[in-house]
Amino acid sequence: MAYLQMRGIAKTYGGVRALTDVDFACERGSIHAVLGENGAGKSTLIKIIAGVVQPDAGTMTLDGREVQFSSPLEANAAGIVCIFQELSLMPDLSVADNICITDPPRTRLGLIDSRAQRRRAEELLARVGCEDIDPRERVRNLPLSRRQMVEIAKALGRNPTLLILDEATSALTSSDVTKVYEILHQLRNEGLSLLYISHRMHEIKELADTCSVFRNGRHIETFPKDAHTDHEVVQLMIGREMSHVYPPKPKWDTPPQPVLEVRNLSWPPVLNDISLTVGRGEIVGLGGLDGQGQRELLLALFGVLRGVQGEVLIDGRKTAIGSPARAKSKRIGMALIPEDRKTEGLMLPMSIGANISMAAMPMLTRGLVIDRSREAQRITEMIQQLQIKIGGVGDPVATLSGGNQQKVVIAKWLMTGARIVLLNDPTRGIDVGTKQEIYQLLRRLADQGTAILFYTTDYDELIGSCDRVLILYDGKIVRELVGDQITETNIVASSLNLSDQIERAAAEARA
Amino acid sequence: MKTLRIYATQNLGLLIAIAIFLVLYLIYATQLSRFGMNVVLQNANEVVPLALVSMAQTVPVLLGGLDLSVGPLMTMINCIASEFLAGDIWSVLFGCVLCLVIGSACGLLNGCIVVYGRIQPIIATLATGAIFIGVALFVRPTPGGKVDGDLSWALTNDINELGYTYGWWEDLGWFGLIPLPAVFLVLVVLLVWIPFRRSATGRGCYAIGSAEGAAYMSGIAINRSKLAAFTLAGFFAACAGLYLTLLTGSGNADAQQAGSYTLNSIAAVVIGGTSLFGGTGGCIGAIFGAMVIRAISFIFRVIDENSIFGFLASPLLQSLVEGAILLLAVSLGAARVFRVRNRLTLFT
């Protein structure tokens, strides 16, 4: 008998079927990957298991006993702990407070024992290999990758028997990922059940024992890890034959005419003396390990950072970009698809339409008022162009799935007619189908003459979609890869700033 | 050293409030010719009611809401207390406990409306505040009361005077000069606020103000924390009402005074480094915030009309200057904006 057994689970959200008649089981001592496009029902499934939402129909047994959870607290008491994609940390509390929040150690008087709490936090942080994090520091002051490790430490502190990880490694640095893999394997060997949701195929290959594929709210198939090839798995997920993942790249005979030029840009201590050009119709990738200054470079170009040194040239003319409002102006025509669509990309309670037309507002205004009919027409065009799946334009954007929300963000900036598009990890946490559409879209934009600067943490995307790749290390561009040089070996080696050594080793091997 | 650095960065608002207070009070003390413990006592008596109301305001603010009913609740308790603080020790004690219970219950009522009625705190407490003033007027249509005079005198003086009044002890030296209002305030902080802050429920309040969704997902008892927060606010407001009754020896259903206490409490909370978005800050900061606000008005009493600042001494200008100083004090806390190098961090 499986540890967790679900039978006939169904859930509808206001007429939309999120899950239909799902049977699902999860064993002890195994890592179980759940795959599916966004909107396939994975999130709803784990939310039901974790007690965040309640199923409309069906039963759930845990260790042979039937259970019903009306809150995360109850699921937690039964040993189910969830690490969600949206971080569940409280930014104003300290690391130790966050780790111990559910069940803090108490003194005899029943008050929180801050010393014991700090010790416990230190132990748990050491267990995930993050001794460098001070438990007294506020979570707000930690970078995203460190926060995610705190999140994992917090989950371990709750002694789970069933641990759910929802995109839990999406923001981690590669050294942290290695540590997390070790911990997860160790937990599995201790007999825990682990449910793992990820959009990264290589992670699943490395970690999972069993895989389950969901599509359109149904459980399609569960199979041992190596039973299907990648190609077959992707087909199961999207339910149709996949065309080429990446569109073909154009051939460059002469270098394109530069649109964006950066000379000696610095923002100490994060960015050091960065020079680059992005030409008309070119997709330039930014690579390297996470947190080497890529995000800050995009923010600096978009006028968000203060105290940036160096020169930025647009169409060969020196230009000062002091704010996003200036960056998007007609003269510059820049757009930034931000990293965190929930806080920097969208006004979640506002309508889909209002979000799409938000950045292009100055172009839609006649006199002092917004030209409503023109706005509506442009919104419809954008929705069609990007094939955004929506109920109505007036629905709050928060009701959309992650992939469609990202499309709304992109639509918002395309509507401004931007000539320079900066993208900050736009495919993070979105489904395969939408990812492909985004690759196609980027190439189409480039063919129309847009200059694109594309930061992604996924090496496959750099290889598949970029004409040139710049590798950042410690705030500097350490390597530029062009054409056939863009290979995984080269990217990984230069990300670790090892390229010289590897080339030397290769030269020695030849000699 | 690192501990000190972390403490300083995490309590910057509080430290700024303390610094502003010290500067203002030093100016006041040097301008006053006969400065002594009796002046400190008088000042302490003026500070304590506002300090307690500000503590009351702090707790809902930590959740990310505003409580407009703290002033009216304090006024209502003042009117009720003016009926009960008389007779022998037992009946006085009963009166005190009754007032604190009523105050806490009114706070709990606010909490229930916010939690179960799903109404935003600012509008829920706007309504209950009006109700509290109504009750206060009903209890005491005209100012007055039958507060025991000895009691009122003894409890709003220094420790020595308490002994003299009831014949409990004689001169206790420097210890006897400590003002009782300060003692009360410290007791409330030590016995109520610190334990609350260090309880799981109190921690929950900070968590809710910081990120309510994350708090829910961490399995925190959200409703219990919110109810506790509003109940505690009611308790602190009742303490303020009780002390005001002892101080004035009477009850007065003064709606205008109630309103000004509410608004000053919000100012005190902000000066004390508590974020109106919730999640950071605390009652200690609010106390120093209240001290800053009072210190501003103390200074007005001592400005020499013939000095270069003499024109400020005009009572007509007091409100204007008070407002300007308030703005300045709050801006100091916001000065970090100038050091922000990534503008995005301003919005999170």
CA nearest to A137 within chain B: B6
Residue A327: name the closest of A335, A318, A337 by CA: A335
CA nearest to B193 within chain A: A111
Helix (H, G, I), strand (E, B) or coil at B69: coil
State residue A85's pLDDT score: 63
Q: Given an 8 Å threshold on Cβ–Cβ distance, is A306 in contact with B219?
A: no
Residue among B196, B198, B225, B346 with most chain A CBs within 10 A, to mutate: B198
The percentage of residues in chain A with a pLDDT greater than 70, rounded to a whole number, is 93
What's the average model confidence in pLDDT over A143-157?
A: 86
Cα torsion for B1, B5, B6, B11, to the nearest 10°? Answer: 130
Q: Which residues, in sequence order, are CB contacts of A327 under 8 Å at separation 6+?
A: A301, A302, A303, A321, A334, A336
State residue A230's pLDDT score: 75
Burial of B32 (0-12, 13-18, 19+ CB in 10 A): middle
State residue B33's pLDDT score: 80
Window 180-199 of B, Cβ < 8 Å to A: 195, 198-199
Q: How many Cβ atoms from other residues are within 10 Å of residue A227's Cβ?
A: 12
Range with lowest mean pLDDT among A140-144, A240-244, B9-13, B312-316 = A240-244
Helix (H, G, I), strand (E, B) or coil at A194: strand
At B45-70, the pLDDT tens digits run 999 999 999 999 999 999 999 999 99
Residues of A in contact with B337 (CB under 8 A): none
Measured CA to CA, the distance from residue A38 to residue A402 in angstroms comes to 7
Say if residue A393's pLDDT is above 60.
yes
Whether B198 is covered by a domain: the verdict is yes
Q: Does B342 touch chain A (CB under 8 A)?
A: yes
Q: Given an 8 Å threshold on Cβ–Cβ distance, is A136 in contact with B198?
A: no
β-sheet bridge partners, residue A285: A454, A469
Q: Does B15 touch chain A (CB under 8 A)?
A: no
Whether B347 is covered by a domain: the verdict is no
Say if residue A244's pLDDT is above 60.
no
Q: Given an 8 Å threshold on Cβ–Cβ distance, is A90 in contact with B210?
A: yes
Measured CA to CA, the distance from residue A431 to residue A433 in angstroms comes to 6
Q: Given an 8 Å threshold on Cβ–Cβ distance, is B211 in contact with A89?
A: yes
Give me the helix-helix angle, A402-414 and A372-386, nearest 10°: 130
Shortest distance between the Cα of A306 and any Cα of chain B, in A, equals: 5
Whether B243 is covered by a domain: the verdict is yes
Residues of A in contact with B225 (CB under 8 A): none
Q: Given an 8 Å threshold on Cβ–Cβ distance, is B219 in contact with A71?
A: yes
Q: Given an 8 Å threshold on Cβ–Cβ distance, is B195 in contact with A305?
A: no
Q: Does B223 touch chain A (CB under 8 A)?
A: no
**Cα–Cα distance list, B208 to A50, A101, B273 (Å):** 20, 12, 18
Q: Given an 8 Å threshold on Cβ–Cβ distance, is A136 in contact with B6?
A: yes
Q: Given an 8 Å threshold on Cβ–Cβ distance, is A72 in contact with B198?
A: no
At B214-241, the pLDDT tens digits run 888 787 889 999 999 999 999 999 999 9
Measured CA to CA, the distance from residue A422 to residue A450 in angstroms comes to 10
Q: Which residues, in sequence order, are CB contacts of A284 under 8 Å at separation 6+?
A: A276, A278, A451, A452, A453, A454, A466, A467, A468, A469, A470
Question: Which tokens sit at B134?
Answer: 């109504």
Question: Which tokens sit at B24?
Answer: 């203002």
Q: Does A343 touch chain B (CB under 8 A)?
A: yes
Partner residue opposite A112 with nearest CB, options B198, B210, B342: B198
β-sheet bridge partners, residue A82: A164
Q: Given an 8 Å threshold on Cβ–Cβ distance, is A307 in contact with B341?
A: yes
Question: Which tokens sit at B225?
Answer: 């924390």
Question: Which tokens sit at B224?
Answer: 């219990």
- A203 in Cβ contact with A180 (< 8 Å): no
Whether B9 is covered by a domain: the verdict is no
Partner residue opposite A304 with nearest CB, options B10, B213, B343: B343
At B190-216, the pLDDT tens digits run 999 999 998 989 999 999 998 888 888
CA nearest to B346 within chain A: A304
Q: Given an 8 Å threshold on Cβ–Cβ distance, is A52 in contact with B217?
A: yes
- B62 in Cβ contact with B274 (< 8 Å): yes
Whether B12 is covered by a domain: the verdict is no
State residue B304's pLDDT score: 72
Q: How many Cβ atoms from other residues are within 10 Å of residue A233's Cβ?
A: 22
State residue A16's pLDDT score: 66
Q: Given an 8 Å threshold on Cβ–Cβ distance, is A112 in contact with B3?
A: no
Categorize the per-residue pLDDT at A432 as very low, low, confident or very high, splitting at 50, 70 and 90.
confident
How many domains is chain B partitioned into structurally? 1
Q: Given an 8 Å threshold on Cβ–Cβ distance, is A134 in contact with B340?
A: no
Window 360-419 of A, Cβ < 8 Å to B: none
Q: Given an 8 Å threshold on Cβ–Cβ distance, is A92 in contact with B210?
A: yes
Residues of A in contact with B220 (CB under 8 A): 101-102
What's the average model confidence in pLDDT over A467-496?
A: 86
Residue A11: name the closest of A62, A37, A65, A47 by CA: A47
Q: Does A102 touch chain B (CB under 8 A)?
A: yes
**Residue found under tokens 């992005």:** A278
Measured CA to CA, the distance from residue A48 to residue A38 in angstroms comes to 17
**Cα–Cα distance list, A498 to A274, A288, A469, A494 (Å):** 19, 12, 16, 5
At A361-392, the pLDDT tens digits run 888 888 888 888 999 999 999 999 988 888 88
Whether B81 is covered by a domain: the verdict is yes
Q: Could you tell me how far CA A28 lies from the centroid of its own chain? A: 29
The pTM (predicted TM-score) of the whole model is 0.77
Residues of B in contact with A110 (CB under 8 A): 199
State residue A170's pLDDT score: 66
ipTM of this model? 0.77
Question: Which tokens sit at A140?
Answer: 């707000």
Average pLDDT of chain A to the nearest whole number: 86
Burial of B293 (0-12, 13-18, 19+ CB in 10 A): buried
CA nearest to B279 within chain A: A92
Shortest distance between the Cα of B294 and any Cα of chain A, in A, equals: 30
Q: Could you tell me how far CA A132 lies from the centroid of its own chain? A: 24
Q: Could you tell me how far CA A226 lies from the centroid of its own chain? A: 26
Residues of B in contact with A88 (CB under 8 A): 213-214, 217-218
Kind and range of the H or E run holding A274: strand A271-279
Rg (CA), chain B: 21
Q: Does A116 touch chain B (CB under 8 A)?
A: no
Q: Does A159 touch chain B (CB under 8 A)?
A: no
State residue A450's pLDDT score: 94
Domain that holds residue B188: 19-25+39-302
Q: Does B56 touch chain A (CB under 8 A)?
A: no
Helix (H, G, I), strand (E, B) or coil at A355: helix
Burial of B255 (0-12, 13-18, 19+ CB in 10 A): middle
Domains of chain A: 4-238 (3.40.50.300), 258-333+418-510 (3.40.50.300), 345-415 (no CATH)
Partner residue opposite B344 with nearest CB, options A84, A110, A299: A299
Measured CA to CA, the distance from residue A174 to residue A93 in angstroms comes to 27
Q: Which residues, in sequence order, are CB contacts of B256 under 8 Å at separation 6+?
A: none
Q: Given an 8 Å threshold on Cβ–Cβ distance, is B342 in contact with A305?
A: yes
Kind and range of the H or E run holding B215: helix B212-217
Give the residues of chain B that fall short of pLDDT 70.
1, 308-309, 311-313, 333, 335-337, 348
CATH code at position B83:
1.10.3470
The percentage of residues in chain A with a pLDDT greater than 90, rounded to a whole number, is 31
Shortest distance between the Cα of A483 and any Cα of chain B, in A, equals: 34
Shortest distance between the Cα of B170 and any Cα of chain A, in A, equals: 36
More confident residue, A449 or A288: A449
Residue A206: name the closest of A193, A221, A196 by CA: A196
Whether B321 is covered by a domain: the verdict is no
Residue among A71, A92, A111 with most chain B CBs within 10 A, to mutate: A92
State residue A378's pLDDT score: 92
At A83-130, the pLDDT tens digits run 876 667 888 899 999 998 888 888 888 888 989 999 999 999 998 888
Work out the widest C-alpha separation in chain A, in whole angstroms.
Answer: 77
Residues of B in contact with A133 (CB under 8 A): none
Q: Given an 8 Å threshold on Cβ–Cβ distance, is A136 in contact with B348?
A: no
State residue A498's pLDDT score: 67
Start-end of H helices in B11-158: 12-31, 37-63, 70-84, 89-116, 121-139, 149-155
Residues of A in contact with B343 (CB under 8 A): 304-306, 323
What's the average model confidence in pLDDT over A302-324?
A: 91
Q: Given an 8 Å threshold on Cβ–Cβ distance, is A102 in contact with B342?
A: no
- B183 in Cβ contact with A61 (< 8 Å): no
State residue B131's pLDDT score: 97
Measured CA to CA, the distance from residue B180 to residue B188 in angstroms comes to 12
Window 200-219 of B, Cβ < 8 Å to A: 200, 203, 206-207, 209-211, 213-219
Whether B333 is covered by a domain: the verdict is no
State residue A421's pLDDT score: 95
At A316-342, the pLDDT tens digits run 999 999 899 899 888 899 999 988 888
Burial of A77 (0-12, 13-18, 19+ CB in 10 A): middle
Residue among B196, B343, B346, B347 with most chain A CBs within 10 A, to mutate: B343
Q: Given an 8 Å threshold on Cβ–Cβ distance, is B215 in contact with A307?
A: no
